[in-house]
Amino acid sequence: MAIRVAAAQIDPQLGEVDANLARIERTVSAAAADGAALVVLPEAAVTGYCFDTIDEALAVARRATAVAESRLSDLARQLGVAIIAGTIEAEGSEVLNTALILGPDGARRRYVKTHLPFLGVDRFATRGSEPPPVFELAGMRVGVLICYDLRFPEAARVCAVSGADLIALPTNWPVSVEFHPGIFAPSRAAENHVYLLACDRVGTERGTTFIGRSVFFDYDGQNLATAGDTDEETIFGEVDLAAVRQTHVARRPGEHEWDTMADRRPGLYARLLEPAVDRNHPIGANLISGDVDDPRV
């Protein structure tokens, strides 16, 4: 069974929630008319990304929280498609960088970005506290990450061991991170035997230019579709469920075979749960991650 998916690369305008939602509605409608069962949009597609202060971001996030989920859920039901769209949301005095995940059956879900770079609204956002989810969506098992999450192989692996057929990545890749679509995206697809659909944005926001290049890779890391650098554009591809779910690969049966899920050695990976070595200091010094209590305090 093959399922048609799309990444709708657009140019959101900072703070223009209602205009951005109208743009999303037009774009998703066109993708649905072209047969897409799932449409992925960029990170912060509803709101824009490059806010200067948390107060500025909160004002926009409150408007987005009030209207975005209901409008996009209605759209998903009307068109009979699944939609994954980035936004920022307000939770009290906190801002969350969120992916809204809307099903054609009216289901409403979300994922809050867990890895935050020092850039744009992420400088003020609160990190998500839940691992990346996998949902039954458009006839597939879809894992969801957001932008910088892709740089951490553990996040994509969580999706894979949770049964994902495809990882959807709303993203805002700025100029200078061209290696994300060129290296990280195909690597995460191949090492986890999953399809990966990354939807970037285009345009410039407060001096930050985004590179476009939305991409679709198969479970071997083969590039199936790539968007351009500067223009709004929708790319399409097909997810072959039978192929992606057969994680045992026999290139030459009896001579060259592998299974990236069954061949793992989880018992050897406990070190991943401990603090990293601080490379700027003696080998015994630990670099404490943000979600690990620091025993030095």
- Distance separating alpha carbons of residues 77 and 199, to the nearest angstrom: 22
The answer to whether 142 touches 121, Cβ cutoff 8 Å, is no
Question: Residues near 40 by Cβ (< 8 Å), separated by ≥ 6?
Answer: 5, 6, 7, 8, 83, 84, 85, 168, 169, 170, 197, 199
**Helix or strand (DSSP H, E) at 52:** none
Which of the residues 50, 69, 89, 113 is marked catalytic? 113
| DSSP conformational letter for 174 | B
pLDDT one-digit tens code per residue, 112-133 = 999 999 999 999 999 999 999 9
Q: Which two tokens stand for residue 17?
A: 């929630």
Query: Which among 53, 54, 55, 68 is positioned nearest to 16, based on CA atoms?
Result: 68
Is 43 one of the annotated active-site residues of the chain?
yes
* pTM over cut 0.85: yes
The superfamily in CATH containing domain 2-254 is Carbon-nitrogen hydrolase (3.60.110.10)
The CA-CA-CA angle for residues 229, 234, 239, to 5°, reads 115
The answer to whether 1 touches 9, Cβ cutoff 8 Å, is no
- Distance separating alpha carbons of residues 19 and 80, to the nearest angstrom: 23
Neighbours of 164 (CB within 10 A): 26
- Distance separating alpha carbons of residues 75 and 104, to the nearest angstrom: 8
Give the per-residue pLDDT at 276: 84
Domain ranges of the chain: 2-254, 265-297
Which of the residues 43, 69, 89, 205 is marked catalytic? 43
Give the per-residue pLDDT at 213: 97
Which of the residues 50, 147, 159, 199 is marked catalytic? 147
Query: Which among 226, 231, 174, 162 is positioned nearest to 196, based on CA atoms?
Result: 226
Which regions in the chain score pLDDT beneath 70? 282-288, 290, 292-297
Helix, strand or coil, per DSSP, at residue 78: helix
The answer to whether 257 touches 249, Cβ cutoff 8 Å, is yes
